[in-house]
Copies of this chain bind each other. A is one copy, B any other.
Amino acid sequence: MRTKNKEKMEQLFEKRQAEILDAAGIVFSKYGFAKTTIDRIASQAGLGKGTVYQYFKSKKELFLLVGRNGMDRLKDTVLVEIEKEADPIKQIEIAIKAYLLFFQENSKLAGIFMQEQGEFRRETQKRYFEHYYGHIDMMRKIFKKAVKKGLLKDVDVENLNNILISLLNGLVYMWQAEGMKYSLTDRIPMVLKVFFTGIVKDEKRRQKYEKAK
Contact = CB atoms under 8 A, between A and B. Distances in A.
A155 interface: yes
A89 interface: yes
Contact of A199 (B118, B155, B168, B190): B155
A45 B190 CA distance: 47
A160 interface: yes
23 contacts: A31-B122, A114-B118, A117-B173, A118-B119, A125-B179, A129-B177, A151-B200, A152-B201, A153-B199, A163-B171, A163-B190, A163-B194, A165-B174, A166-B170, A193-B209, A193-B211, A193-B212, A196-B198, A196-B199, A196-B209, A197-B197, A197-B198, A198-B198
Given A128-B177, A166-B170, A192-B212, 12 more contacts: A111-B118, A114-B121, A121-B176, A129-B178, A151-B205, A153-B193, A155-B199, A169-B174, A193-B209, A196-B198, A196-B199, A196-B205
